[in-house]
Structure 1
Amino acid sequence: MIPRKVVSASNPCVEITKEGDYWIIRMSTLIRTIEYKFIPGEPIETETMGGMAQNTFTFEENSIKHIQKSNTYTTEVIREFTDDELVMTLKHVESGTVCHRYFKRV
């Protein structure tokens, strides 16, 4: 619980790059760095704070859609890009809870 509180209070840095066929989303916080390396449409498995999860990323116009499924939950993350910001909308599918994070482009 304490690591989740620290991460939620931090100001993460998000970096999105492309290497060959792979896209990389790297989110750095005070405690750890989360990295997803993927080919759009192909599922990848990652370790989360709650265990293993399957992730699928797709591109839709000016956004990246990320579906994460584990044995206990499903989340949908939409990362929408504009000229000066990234708006990240996270939805816990089972409860319908939605939150937003806003990032300035640097």
Structure 2
Amino acid sequence: MVKINSNKEVVVNFTNTLTERQEQFMQTNAVATTSGETNLTAHNDMEEVFGNSLLHTDNYCSYLTYDIQNVLKIAGLFEEVDEQMKRQFEELE
């Protein structure tokens, strides 16, 4: 039989790592389309593509944030069930 580990600390560590990666991902995509250092500017089509990629990145990160919150909620529910089961086993003993 496989043992299910419902340790909330493991879940919190995992979700914290996901959140850090999400922030790194957002920073990677925080690039300006024009530069004050040069006279080069992006072509209109490139600006549109770049804008779309930022929109998709933002949407992805929003969904990831939502999913992380759901994982934490589920971990909290597992923790509650674990506590109830522990109390019931203690009462039976």
Higher strand share: 1
Asked if these proteins are the same fold (TM beyond 0.5), I'd say no
| Higher Rg of the two aligned structures | 2
TM-score under structure 1 length normalisation: 0.24
TM-score under structure 2 length normalisation: 0.26
Higher helix share: 2
Q: Higher relative CO (CA 8 A, sep ≥ 6), structure 1 or 2?
A: 2
